[in-house]
Structure 1
Amino acid sequence: MIKSGITIGLISGSVLGLFLKWIETITGKKVYTLLLNIDFIPVIGAVTWPESIEFFFHLLIAFIIGILFVYAAKKFTTQSWKWLLVISTILTLPTIPLYFPLTILAIKETPALNDFMAILYWTIGHLLFALTLAYSYYFMQKRSSHK
C-alpha cells in the first residue's frame, strides 16, 4: 500500500509540478514558484535550496496524498473509475484553497491574491493531479490483475 501510494504520488506530483512549471514559463505567472515555495517555514525556509530539493519537498506531500488515496481506495474496495475519481478529488480539493495562505505567507514573489488567471492555473493543475492520481491507481490495478 505504501509503495503504491508513493508511486502514484510521484507520478501525480510530477505531473502537477511539470504542468505548473510549463504554465509559469509560458505566462510568467509564478504558480510553480508558489508550489515549491517554503521560504516562510522556520529554519528550512531560511536555506536557499536548489530547485530539485524544493521539488522533492513538494513530492513528499504528494507521497502522503498518494498513500492516503491508496488506503481509501482499498478501504472502500473500489476499482470503479468513477469512485476512484471521487476519492482523488476529495483528497485533492483542500489543496486548491491553499493558494491563498501560501500566497499571503510567501516572502518571495508569487502571484497576487486576486490574480484570477493564476488561481485558475493553480486549480487546473491540482485537478490534473487528482485525475492523474485516480488514473495511475486504476492503471496499476488493471495491470496487476492481468499478471
Structure 2
Amino acid sequence: MKKVLKLTLIGIIGGVVLALILWIVLALTGNTAYYLLFNFDYIPWINNLRPIWLWGNIFHYLTCIISVIALFYILNIKGWHKLISPYVAVYTIGGGGLFFLTALSHLPPAANDVMAWIYWTLAHAIFGLVVGLGVKSWIKE
C-alpha cells in the first residue's frame, strides 16, 4: 500500500508539472493546449458534471495518478519499472496520440493546431521524465 501511495504522489506531482508547463505556454504564447488537460466534454455522462472547473481538475489528476500506477505495474512485469526511458516514451507517444481527442470537442485547441500538438507532446515527455525520476528515486524494492 505504501508503494501505491508513493505512486499516487508521483502522479500528482507529475500532473502539477504538466499543467504548469502548459499554463506557462498559454501565458507566453496564447496557445490553448493547456485547456485540453481539463476537457472532458467528449465523454458521455461525465460531460454533465458541474462545476466544470472542479471536475476538469479531478479528471486531469485522476488520469495522471491512474496512468502512473498502471504503467508502473505494467513495466514491473518486464523489470523495466526503474528505467526512466519507458515512462518518457509511453507518455510522449501516448500524449501525442491522445491530443487528437480534441477533435471530438468544440473547445480549443483545434485538432489541426500543430503548435498545440508540439507543446502538448513535449509537456507529456517532461511528465514522463518527472514520473520516471520519481519512480527511480522514491520506489524502493
Higher CA-based Rg: 1
Q: Structure 1: where are the runs of 5+ without partners?
A: none
Q: Structure 2: where are the runs of 5+ without partners?
A: none
Give the corresponding residue for 1:97.
97
Q: Which segment is superposed worse, 124-133 or 91-100? A: 91-100
Distance 2:104 2:50 in 1: 17
User: How many Å apart are 1:112 and its aligned residue?
Assistant: 2.3
Distance 1:25 1:15 in 2: 15
Distance 1:79 1:50 in 2: 35
Give the corresponding residue for 2:112.
114
User: How many Å apart are 1:90 and its aligned residue?
Assistant: 4.0
Q: How many residues align?
A: 138
The 1:107/1:47 distance shift into structure 2, 3 A limit, reads: farther
Distance 1:40 1:50 in 2: 13
Distance 1:22 1:51 in 2: 19
The 1:50/1:111 distance shift into structure 2, 3 A limit, reads: closer
Distance 1:48 1:28 in 2: 26
Give the corresponding residue for 1:54.
56
Alignment of 1:1-147 (within 5 A): 1-77=3-79, 84-92=83-91, 93-100=93-100, 102-108=101-107, 110-141=108-139
TM-score normalised over the length of structure 1: 0.80
TM-score normalised over the length of structure 2: 0.83
Residue identity (%): 30
Q: Is the 8 A contact 1:19 1:125 kept in 2?
A: yes
